[in-house]
Amino acid sequence: MGDLYLWLKAGHVISVIAWMAGIFYLPRLFVYHAETGPSVPDMIPVLQVMERRLIRAIMTPAMIATWVFGLALIALGLVDWGAVWPWIKAVCVLAMTAFHFWCAGERKRLADGSARMTGRGYRMMNEVPTLLLIVIVVSVVVRPF
């Protein structure tokens, strides 16, 4: 089981890194979309392609892989569910997944012109995954709870 655990953990870490890279970048694209769109309308189609490809080709597959590898690690039975840290991590991962789906919805709203957020709003939303990631990593590595 030792080799299986290590391979699953490696897959999980790789998937998380890919997911986080996309989840940090997509709201930044939303900022450019919201702020550049009115002044440089030729950029809108380019931003829409970038946003769509990022979420479909990188973020969503990485999110799915993160969940698959994470659930496989849980299935090995090595997590102490009597401790607080796995529950905190689980809540934060669910929140990160909800943020992912918010991003997907926001991409569609930007594409059809119904988005209402400003560039500043997207900048503030871009901090959400950072905070969640900090709590997740501290919960898993330091286990202060």
Q: Which domain holds residue 16?
A: 2-141
Say how many domains are in the chain.
1
Outline where DSSP puts E strands in 8-136.
Answer: none
pLDDT per residue of the chain (145 residues) written in tens, 0 to 9: 679 999 999 999 999 999 999 999 999 999 999 998 778 889 999 999 999 999 999 999 999 999 999 999 999 999 999 999 999 999 999 999 999 999 999 999 999 989 999 999 999 999 999 999 999 999 999 998 7
The answer to whether residues 145 and 85 touch, using CB atoms and an 8 Å cutoff, is yes
- Helix then strand then coil, % of the chain, to nearest 5: 80, 0, 20
pTM of this structure: 0.93
Q: How far apart are CA 130 and CA 84, in angstroms?
A: 21
Give the Cβ contact number of residue 19 at 10 Å. 24
